Amino acid sequence: MESTTFDFGGLLKPVVVIADTHLGLLKDTARCDLERLRGFLEFLVEWRRKGAVKVWIEESGRVVERVLEAPGKIVFLGDFIELWDSTDESVAACFLSLIDVLSEYNEIIYLLGNHDANLREVIGKYFLGKARVEIVDDCFCESIYGRKYLFIHGHQFDTAFRFTAGAWKIMAYVREYSASLGGYPWVLTLALIAALILKLLFVYKIWGEIAVLTLLSAPKWVTTFGRKIYNKLFGVRYKRKRVYKGLKKWLKKRLEEEASEITVVYGHTHIADYLEFKIKNTRVIAINVPSWVRERKVKSVFRDAFLYIRDKPYLFGWDWVEKRIFHISWNMIRERRRGEALKVEKEKAVIGRHELATSDLEKLGWPERAVSKWERKPPVETTCEV
């Protein structure tokens, strides 16, 4: 981002934020939650038709019933479409599966992430049925009920992305090249193997041919094996302290005007988190919205959730079996990021320093699957005090 100032508009309608859906990602090791996402989007359409829904939420240690007004805007927080590790056919099939429900909304903001960054060529405003869709690069600012929000995908302050000086942008083009050749890269790979054998056995001077065959074949290797190797080596990529330092450094350069408070909403890491810190006299609340991607290796990470913003931000999970939402308090998120697991006893549910009556957990509507996941220890990389 070149600009050092943020332009906050004004909005008096609730906003729903969805992060990292990765439509088109259909690998064995990681898949977009297409069916669950569609069910949730249908729920949003029904919510809009009704005008409001009743839910139980936890506030200040008490569980109370609240009426939530239907959102007037949906923000997709980057990596909506997978353009690194997918095929054109898988992206088209996934998007077409959602187009009818997406077209039912009034206003959609599509913020670009790192996996769909080459859509910068089509930044602007479009129509999708009844919906007005705006494709936005880098970040989106809004003042919602008087509170300032900055929406950003999150790769902008990821250490790996900052240090590569934009080299990551070639990944989408690697995928396009690989897809354009179809199955021919495997033929080229066989030719490369044959050339290497000839070189070893007969000492032919064919280094030029080997180099050309390698360059032509390598993109297919990256798109076929890249994610599997990455997941095998690294698994969860969220390093909490590193994210905190990167975000603080990134934001410090851009907060030119004094503000009493700003909330930064980001995705990218696929993990739920809540941070508070100060930059000069500005209180910063940073909310990490989790993804809608199932990753086979990572069993204890919470997925399929969204942020609802009205007078303040609320995190909700999606129960795709009962077709309902359930509230997750920021206290529970903070304790989980400290490395705590949920312990459900007969009378109470405890996570770290936060305690809740078991009956209240049931009242909140937590499905057994979510409880079971939170009873596991979170990956150690995702935890630490900051």
Instruction: Using a pLDDT cut of 70, give the percent of the chain over it.
Output: 88
- Is 4's pLDDT higher than 50? no
Q: Are residues 41 and 137 both part of a single domain?
A: yes
Q: Are residues 42 and 132 both part of a single domain?
A: yes
Does residue 244 lie in a domain region? Answer: yes
Q: Are residues 256 and 113 both part of a single domain?
A: yes
CA distance 175 to 162: 22
Query: Could you report the per-residue pLDDT of 13-71, keeping only the tens digit for each?
Result: 899 999 999 999 888 778 898 999 999 999 999 999 999 999 999 987 789 999 999 99
CA distance 262 to 278: 10
Q: Which residue among 201, 234, 267 closes a domain?
A: 234
Does residue 345 lie in a domain region? Answer: no
131-136/107-111 β-pairing: parallel
Query: Could you report the per-residue pLDDT of 168-189, keeping only the tens digit for each?
Result: 677 777 777 777 777 777 787 8
Q: Confidence class of residue 79 from pLDDT cuts 50, 70 and 90?
A: very high
Query: Structural domain tally of the chain?
Result: 2
Q: Which residue among 234, 252, 275 closes a domain?
A: 234
- Is 5's pLDDT higher than 60? no
Q: Are residues 143 and 30 both part of a single domain?
A: yes
Q: Are residues 159 and 262 both part of a single domain?
A: yes
Between residues 181 and 72, which one has the greater pLDDT?
72
Q: Which residue among 184, 204, 234 closes a domain?
A: 234
- In DSSP terms, which residues pair with 30 in a beta bridge? 295
The answer to whether the Cα torsion of 324, 373, 24, 26 is positive or negative is negative
- In DSSP terms, which residues pair with 68 in a beta bridge? 53
Q: Confidence class of residue 3 from pLDDT cuts 50, 70 and 90?
A: very low
Query: Could you report the per-residue pLDDT of 204-260, keeping only the tens digit for each?
Result: 677 777 787 777 777 777 777 776 676 566 555 677 888 888 888 888 887 766 678
Chain-wide mean pLDDT for the chain?
85
Q: Are residues 251 and 109 both part of a single domain?
A: yes
Which domain covers residue 185, as residue numbers?
A: 167-234
